[in-house]
Amino acid sequence: MKILVCISNVPDTTTKVKFVENNTKLDTNGIQWVINPWDELSLTRALELKDDSSTGITSVTVAHVGEASSEPTIRKALAIGADNAIRVNGEPVDAYYVAAQLSEAVKNENFDIILCGIESSDHNGSTVGGMISEFLDIASVSAVSSLSIENGEAVISREIDGGKEILTVPVPFVAVVQKGIAKEPRIAAMRGIMMARSKPVKVVEPIAVDPLTSVEAFEMPETRAACKFIDPATAGDLIDILQNEAKVI
């Protein structure tokens, strides 16, 4: 079986974002780009499954829609352990565009399991994975917190709104992963970094797709009023303030 891991390239999670060109574009100055945290975890899980010979997983491919500037992120995924990569050479303008490009690029590659993250930490869309399932006409499972292969069958646990479910689903399918899928992201070792240089990256040109959405402008969050401090000796006063001033309890 073959696994595909879709990775997006996002600003490091501690970045204080700023915008330029009348707040229509992200100021990329000084930004450190990383693999989206969820995608790092799904890559880790895919590699764990491949390491276990009983799963029958034979390869792990990463796919990314982005321009050549995101090559370092792809190389990082290869250094962590992916076997090869596909890059669709287009600007990821919206989720629909990205999902359509990824689906087109992999439709004849017969991946059994396609992993996407629950959200990418830039546009917080939570949509690419579910869209791929519809484009490729295959099943999808969302909010996946564990994935294993038992007797050739995928066993998944997912979070529902008010509990958890254990389920099985026949391949091929898309799993949209969240917390729990892997404990700690795997990091690249020296040997992996050396090997990554020679691993194949297939670059494909995008097909014509009209995005469905566009960002008109970004805004910074409203600044909150400065913190009011309460004397720790009379900490109980806080309850009164929350009740009578803030009126939230």
Partner 1 sequence: MSVLIYTENWDGKFKKLSFELISYGSKIAEMLNTKAIALSTGNVDDDELKKLGNYGASGILSVNSNNLNVLDNRTFVKVISDIAVKENAKVVLLANNNTGKALAPGLSVRLKAGVGAGVSKLPVSLDPFTVFKRVFSGNAYARVVLNTDIRIITLAQNSFDLTETDNNASINKLDPGVDGSVVATQVKETRKQEGKLLLTDAEIVVSGGRGMKSPDNWGPLTELADLLGGATACSRPVSDEGWRPHEEHTGQTGKIIAPNLYIAIGISGATQHLAGVSSSKYIVAVNSDKDAPIFEAAQYGIVGDAMKVLPKLVEAAKNTRGK
Ligand X SMILES: Cc1cc2nc3c(=O)[nH]c(=O)nc-3n(C[C@H](O)[C@H](O)[C@H](O)COP(=O)(O)OP(=O)(O)OC[C@H]3O[C@@H](n4cnc5c(N)ncnc54)[C@H](O)[C@@H]3O)c2cc1C
In the region spanning residues 69 to 108, those forming contacts with ligand AMP, defined by CB under 6 A, are 92, 95, 98, 102
| Comparison of 86 and 227: residue with beta carbon closer to ligand AMP | 86
- 92 contact choice in ligand X, partner 1, ligand AMP, none (CB below 5 to 8 Å, kind-dependent): ligand AMP
Q: Evaluate whether 199 touches 87 at the Cβ level (below 8 Å).
A: no
Q: Which helix (H) or strand (E) holds 43?
A: helix 37-51
> Can you tell me which of 2, 34, 39, 113 binds ligand AMP, judged by CB under 6 A?
39
Q: How far is the CB of 73 from partner 1 (least distance, A)?
A: 17
- 98 contact choice in partner 1, ligand AMP, ligand X, none (CB below 5 to 8 Å, kind-dependent): ligand AMP
C-alpha separations of 131 from 95, 134, 137, 138, 185 in Å = 8, 5, 10, 10, 26
How many Cα atoms sit within 13 Å of 150 on the Cβ side? 9
4 makes contact with ligand AMP (CB under 6 A) = no
Nearest to 34 by CA among 89, 86, 76, 93: 76
How many residues touch ligand AMP under the rule CB under 6 A: the total is 25
C-alpha separations of 10 from 44, 233, 236 in Å = 18, 45, 43
143 makes contact with ligand AMP (CB under 6 A) = no
Distance CA 43, CA 185 (A): 8
Q: Binding to ligand X (CB under 6 A): which residues in 32-91?
A: 37
Residues 6+ apart with CB under 8 A from 166: 155, 156, 157
- 108 contact choice in ligand AMP, ligand X, partner 1, none (CB below 5 to 8 Å, kind-dependent): none
| Comparison of 38 and 173: residue with beta carbon closer to ligand AMP | 38
Residues near ligand X (CB under 6 A) are: 13, 37
Residues near ligand AMP (CB under 6 A) are: 6-8, 36, 38-39, 63-66, 92, 95, 98, 102, 116-117, 119-120, 123-129
